[in-house]
Amino acid sequence: MPNHRIAGLSRLFNLSLSVSVCVALAGCSMFALKRDLERMDSVARISGTVAREDPSRNPIIVGLLEQRVARDAVVDYTVLRESGDFSFLANAGTYFVLAYEDTNGNLSYDEGEPAAFHGDPSPLEVVAGEILDGLTLELSSTVSLTLHADPQQRVDTPPPNLRRSTQNIGERATLDDERFARDVGSMGMWEPVSFAREHGLGVFLLEEYDPARIPVVFVHGLAGTPRDFTAAIERLPRDRYQPWVFHYASGLPVEVTAEYLEKALMELHVKLGFERYAVVAHSLGGLVARRFVNRVSDHAELLPSALVTFSTPWGGHEGARMGVKHSPQVVPVWRDQVPGSALLTALFLAPLPAETPHFLLFGYAGDSMMMAGADDGVVSIASQLHLPAQEGALRVYGFDANHVGILSHPGALRVFYRALERSLDDRE
């Protein structure tokens, strides 16, 4: 077999876009995926709405407590900027849902703060795979919470559910962290539930937070890790910017990942009070980032001041269609990448807010034997230049680079840093 064909097959296998190669060479991965999908089916969803008596800008904390023999334990919590919807993912068990208005901004409950339980309080008996929605909590100054655990105090040994990842919001890390190893990134694709349980999703700070510098949030792609951005992060001007990285299980549906990113950045915004930030994304990460912006379009404080994307399959990928059609096990995010999917359609139903200029970067130095037409070795140029994405971008730039190489391409990095300057520094 010619070397160029072997190289093309290898690249597609690494990104799980060639099902024939996956089945032949990744039997263990398919077995692990099957086991993880069974676990995912057993996860329950609890959702509802919280409201308060008087309008206020104080954050609202919503907590999920599991009833245990020794003591009730907080297994997850979320931070809301205002009255609105909340949701949790959990295993089967008995739970209580509580909420309070954090009037002093310490993200912990203090006696006298308006609060609420679901019911009086009423336990929720949750069975595997159940969807419990429609819960309503009304904050009241007459309600007092007697907590067995504070929502800011994480459980030492939480159950293996998808929300354990809140442990990693705002945690300090370095790119050498073992959680950012290549095999962990692969696990995030093939075993997303196990990834969340063992490593946790999270937005990590690579340096001590500095209010004088602007956060830049890096979002990796399918089977990727924050290390993919090593070149961009190493050369990031540290006098003006500080790097944050979003590490997630890339096999999860894009909507789930974007929802988590929204909750994580909301919590960090409440804690740190940053006013501006940028989001930089590669490949699948671009879909996550765009969907995140869709979700926060009505929340000005969470809108990024710039969105920079590299080599994103805006029009989907035929390999994903083949995977969904023929693979014995389907990675959930593949469905989102099928051309014409509900997710890809939803991304462009509304234009990006004017506050978030989009800089679209694409590569064209590919020679994949598995795709018709020009490509970057993994994603076709047609998909990278999907017309709705171009129409919504402030600038579009092309580079003689392949799918991964674009992240260290000197010209691409120069454009990236100029995009930050144009969108962030000019607003000071």
7 lies in the same domain as 61: no
130 lies in the same domain as 279: no
70 lies in the same domain as 219: no
Q: What is the model's pLDDT at position 158?
A: 34
In angstroms, the CA 161 to CA 75 distance is 9
**Cβ-based neighbour number of residue 94 at 10 Å:** 13
Q: Higher confidence at residue 92 or residue 388? A: 388
Q: What is the model's pLDDT at position 428?
A: 47
Mean pLDDT of 69-88: 82
**Structural domain contains residue 331:** yes
242 lies in the same domain as 357: yes
20 has a pLDDT exceeding 90 = no
**Structural domain contains residue 156:** no
Kindly report the average pLDDT of the chain as a whole number: 86
330 lies in the same domain as 222: yes
Around 207, how many Cα atoms within 13 Å sit in the side-chain half-sphere?
17
Pick the range with the lowest mean pLDDT from 2-16, 54-68, 190-204, 411-425.
Answer: 2-16
**Structural domain contains residue 180:** yes
Q: Residue 63: which CATH number?
A: 2.60.40.1120
101 has a pLDDT exceeding 80 = yes
150 has a pLDDT exceeding 70 = no
Q: What is the model's pLDDT at position 149?
A: 44
Mean pLDDT of 398-424: 96
DSSP string, 351-420: PPPTTS-EEEEEE-----TTSSS-BSSSSBHHHHT-HHHHHH-SEEEEES--TTGGGT-HHHHHHHHHHH
214 lies in the same domain as 91: no
**Structural domain contains residue 369:** yes
- Band of pLDDT at residue 146, cut at 50, 70 and 90: low
Taking alpha carbons only, the member of 219, 388, 403 closest to residue 319 is 403
**Structural domain contains residue 152:** no
Residue-wise pLDDT for 168-216, tens only, equals: 899 999 999 999 999 999 999 999 989 988 888 999 999 999 999 999 9
| Dihedral, CA of residue 330, residue 289, residue 206 and residue 61, to nearest 10 | -90
Do 9 and 161 contact (CB within 8 A), yes or no? no
Q: What is the model's pLDDT at position 12?
A: 44
179 lies in the same domain as 56: no
Phi, then psi, of 329 in degrees rounded to 5: -135, 140
93 lies in the same domain as 192: no
C-alpha Rg value of the chain to the nearest Å:
22
151 has a pLDDT exceeding 70 = no
**Structural domain contains residue 150:** no
Q: What is the model's pLDDT at position 13?
A: 43
27 lies in the same domain as 170: yes
Do 59 and 104 contact (CB within 8 A), yes or no? no
**What 3-state class would DSSP assign to 104?**
coil
**Structural domain contains residue 402:** yes
* Report for 28-32, 340-344, 373-377: range of highest mean pLDDT: 340-344
- Band of pLDDT at residue 11, cut at 50, 70 and 90: very low
Q: What is the model's pLDDT at position 27?
A: 60
**Cβ-based neighbour number of residue 8 at 10 Å:** 21
Residue-wise pLDDT for 270-323, tens only, equals: 889 999 999 999 999 999 999 999 999 988 889 999 999 999 999 999 999 999
Pick the range with the lowest mean pLDDT from 18-22, 104-108, 189-193, 409-413.
Answer: 18-22
Q: Residue 377: which CATH number?
A: 3.40.50.1820
- Band of pLDDT at residue 104, cut at 50, 70 and 90: confident
Around 361, how many Cα atoms within 13 Å sit in the side-chain half-sphere?
29
- Band of pLDDT at residue 243, cut at 50, 70 and 90: very high
51 lies in the same domain as 131: yes
In angstroms, the CA 221 to CA 248 distance is 9
Provide the domain count of the chain: 2
Domain that holds residue 92: 44-138
**Structural domain contains residue 226:** yes
Residue-wise pLDDT for 106-125, tens only, equals: 878 888 899 999 987 888 99
Pick the range with the lowest mean pLDDT from 35-49, 345-359, 381-395.
Answer: 35-49
- Band of pLDDT at residue 69, cut at 50, 70 and 90: low
**C-alpha distances in Å from residue 168, one per residue of 111, 340, 344:** 27, 34, 28
In angstroms, the CA 80 to CA 263 distance is 8
Helices (H), 129-229: 182-190, 192-198
387 lies in the same domain as 255: yes
17 lies in the same domain as 71: no
